[in-house]
Structure 1
Amino acid sequence: MIRHGRLLLCLAVVATMGLAGSPLAAQGMKAYHQWTAPFEYNGPARTITEGDTDPKTIRVGVLASLSGSGASYGSAMQEGADLARDEINARGGVLGRPLELVYRDDRNDMGENGHQTVRLLFDDKVWAIIGSVHSGCTHVAARITLKAETPQLTTVSTDPTVQMIGSPWMFRCLVDDRAQGRAIADLVFTKNGYKRVGLFQQKNRYGKMGGKTIAQIAVDRQNPLIFKNFFNPGQTDFAEQIALLRQHTPDAIIIWGLDLEAAGLVKAIRAAGSQVPIFGADGMVSPEFLRRAGPAAEGTVVTYPFDDTRNDPVTQRFIATFEKRYGKRPDSFAAHAYDAVYLMARAIERGGLNKARIRDALAATREFPGVTGPISFNEFNDDPRGVIFARVENGEFRPLKD
């Protein structure tokens, strides 16, 4: 019976992916309004009692890249999530029961992600899912949680199309690539006045979607990029990129890629003698980027989803507790995972053991006092807050002040 259910679920997911050919149209039509009124999901799940109504623990699944190319992000997520779980349980748990986080490693692979998402839902019987890291993986999980009518919250995936599939069950608690792209364009083209700007983008979904976003924004502002170039996951030789840089001599460059490869590219650029200003997105905001790029990272400006200098007692308490436990400062990925666990725990506390009502409670979130700042969800279940920047100074990310 379980196998039959899984087969039907997989067939439904495939059908959904085939029908999702016009995500921009869905976004333009504000598709979420067909699911919410404005915060309640009125489908059959509201009246269905699913699973154990008196469980020993409250299970929430966490999809993360705990191995593979996204492991640095996944391990940071786990550190932040575990800290939040332990704090919540020390205060009595959720609905009077311990909160249990069930981790599944998708290895930054879309196929594996689908397999692990199904395991969380059918084997582990979780009430909600947090994750994943890779936007492609999050897309796969979102189509499965849509069919399984289970709330999902991503803390890392910034691909705008994640929220364009029209799922009422999918949430995101950080700004997407559109918001980051607009902010980078304002900083690069408007504030700094650079005209001849080139783009290096990683050949994965993150780099492709982010690069596409910033390239379109540049065209819309009558300032098209002078070149666009892909670098590969795992690439270590950047001779092609350096040759392109020397050929075009841009005023500035934008890098849209993940920490390891972006660090290698930045290091190669500085080793070639170029002092071109470098701007990047949140995939570079990682201790591993700083470690691998070393002194070459100095002066690099990136979008900065977690301002650890916020003079806010919630943020500063989190940082102090995290440092005491792990012996290091938290990064954006740890901080957002920490917030996500608290958001999900509160939604379960308010909605009870019913997935639709948990979803409703999550959708109604307004000005939640997160360690990353106040969190609200708009009509697309997205996080509409603003974008800030940081510059690498003396081997650390230092927030830029207006």
Structure 2
Amino acid sequence: MRTGPFHLFLLLVGCVAGLAAIAPVHEPMAAEAGPQENYGRTPREYLPYNRFTEPYKRFFMVPNEYRGYGRSLPEPERVESVRIGFLGPITKTVSVATGGVSHEEPLGHKMLQGAQLAIEQANAKNGFRGSGIPYELMVRNDNGLWGASGSEIIHLAYRDNVWAILGTIDGANSHIAIRVALKIEIPMMNTGDTDPTFIETAIPWVFRCITDDRQMCYLLADYVFKKLKLTRVAALRANNRYGRIGIGEFRDAATRLGHPFIAELNYQVGDRDFAPQLERIQAVDPEVLITYGDAAESALILKQMRAMGMSQWLIGSDRMVSAEFLSSAGKEEERVAAPCPYNPRSDDPGYLKFKRDFTERFGEEPESFAAHAYDGMNMTIEAIEKAGLNRAKIRDALAEVKTYRGVTGVKEFDVVLNNISPPYLAVLKDGQFLFHSRDEVLK
């Protein structure tokens, strides 16, 4: 299907301007699906109002179903390739978060590499269903502007004629992209956005294979309040959606345990001097400082803390678990911890093979965004192999997955198609992160 620029513009305007009007109708799935205990596998002590009353209504407890048109569409008689879309930040441009240049391109490039490797390996097995028809990755840049993100989804669906889309990372852009995907009715696999609210749009075309900030903040709260038995927490986060939304579950958990933040300050993405905020935080004498932002700023916060004589624990987001952070943190640095959605030191044979293949292909070791993109692309390819060339049936095949063993471990999906697998805790020691499961953390 092809369409002109004016039609693309009208479709995009309809998608973005009518967000409130396009939410799908929710209806329970067949009884055999069964109810889940609570949304997001939230520990009881972190549930809102759990000490006072039981909720009269629980949300996100039944599957997101698609009851519309599309499954009866015939497959194309002949295709030269089976196209899958990629949307991620790979080219520097203007950022909504900073008002200047964008900042997530290093993460986007890793995500692209993981997706490319999965496509190449599928083609080495003779492509789509062994027919010799190759899989083809159609790459579009997520440039940090809401309208542009939606426009790229339209281009992938109608100009590139893809069967599914993998992407993206930025929380705000992802929210726009999936609403356009809903309007178009095309499956979208997310492998990089850890925003807990991403899946709460209740869009039946959306899947996420990376553990979100909800699960990672529960682990951080367990470590700080149950393992370390500390209570005085201050926060210094990025002044963007990632920092604001990502830290939210930890803030809520702390409050529900009776330990609300004693201070919460923010900084602009790209800042290099954090002395004004750290001086105010130092004055209230916290036991722990939590930061939520990119690796570069998190490392600078750590260095400036220590230079000021602040020896408190620094805990942060999964983006701290990176070579960029380690190169700046210092080999002797300790009392640092962050969650990680998988175990990069796993000795699982499948993961080790992926690590070798990735390093041979790209000349560097993979990290979280590459590994999860590899898993997400393989899940998408397997759904296409099973369902054939029909977007609604590809969506159904993905929705049937309850557990999936990938290179990032065993993924568990709840009824709203979100990955609720437990993360690992990365604790810095002797210049490297050591990874611990939740059971090990609470032992």
Instruction: Using structure 1 for the length normalisation, give the TM-score.
Output: 0.92
Separation in 1 of the partners of 2:403 and 2:248? 31
Cα contact 1:365–1:375 (8 A) shared by 2: no
Q: Which residue of 1 aligns with 2:369?
A: 333
Q: Does 2:99 align with 1:69?
A: no
Cα contact 1:290–1:297 (8 A) shared by 2: no
Which residue identity does 1:393 align to in structure 2? K
Cα contact 1:199–1:228 (8 A) shared by 2: yes
The residue matched to 1:374 in structure 2 has which SS? strand
Q: Does 2:307 align with 1:282?
A: no
Aligned with 2:405 (options 362, 369, 373) = 369
Q: Which residue of 1 aligns with 2:8?
A: 6
Separation in 2 of the partners of 1:262 and 1:32? 38
Separation in 2 of the partners of 1:219 and 1:187? 15
Write out aligned runs for 1:118-197 (5 A). 118-197=154-233
Separation in 2 of the partners of 1:31 and 1:306? 25
Aligned with 1:82 (options 116, 119, 128) = 116
Q: Deviations over 1:140-184 (max 9, x none)?
A: 110000000000011111111111111000110012121111111
Cα displacement (A) at 1:311: 2.5
The residue matched to 1:133 in structure 2 has which SS? coil
CA distance 1:107–1:266, change in 2 (3 Å): farther
CA distance 1:289–1:30, change in 2 (3 Å): same
Separation in 2 of the partners of 1:58 and 1:246? 56
Which residue identity does 2:310 align to in structure 1? S
Separation in 2 of the partners of 1:82 and 1:336? 12
Which residue identity does 1:268 align to in structure 2? Q
Cα contact 2:321–2:426 (8 A) shared by 1: no
CA distance 1:393–1:326, change in 2 (3 Å): farther
Aligned with 2:80 (options 49, 56, 63) = 56
More helix by share: 1
Q: Which residue of 2 aligns with 1:113?
A: 149
Separation in 1 of the partners of 2:73 and 2:333? 53
Write out aligned runs for 1:360-399 (5 A). 360-399=396-435
CA distance 1:98–1:336, change in 2 (3 Å): same
The residue matched to 1:164 in structure 2 has which SS? helix
Cα contact 1:200–1:229 (8 A) shared by 2: yes
Separation in 1 of the partners of 2:77 and 2:329? 51
Cα contact 1:267–1:296 (8 A) shared by 2: no
Would you say how many aligned residue pairs link Structure 1 and Structure 2?
Answer: 394
The residue matched to 2:254 in structure 1 has which SS? helix
Separation in 1 of the partners of 2:68 and 2:11? 17
Cα contact 2:332–2:429 (8 A) shared by 1: no
CA distance 1:28–1:102, change in 2 (3 Å): farther
Which residue identity does 1:58 align to in structure 2? V
Q: Does 2:127 align with 1:93?
A: yes
Cα displacement (A) at 1:399: 0.8
Separation in 2 of the partners of 1:207 and 1:234? 13
Which residue identity does 1:291 align to in structure 2? S
RMSD of aligned residue pairs (Cα, Å): 2.3
Aligned with 2:67 (options 24, 38, 42) = 42
Cα displacement (A) at 1:393: 3.0
Q: Does 2:383 align with 1:347?
A: yes
Separation in 1 of the partners of 2:11 and 2:333? 46
Q: Which residue of 1 aligns with 2:59?
A: 29
Which residue identity does 1:74 align to in structure 2? G
Q: Which residue of 2 aligns with 1:324?
A: 360
The residue matched to 2:182 in structure 1 has which SS? helix
Which residue identity does 1:216 align to in structure 2? D
> 331-340 or 74-83, which moves further after superposition?
74-83
Cα contact 1:31–1:166 (8 A) shared by 2: no
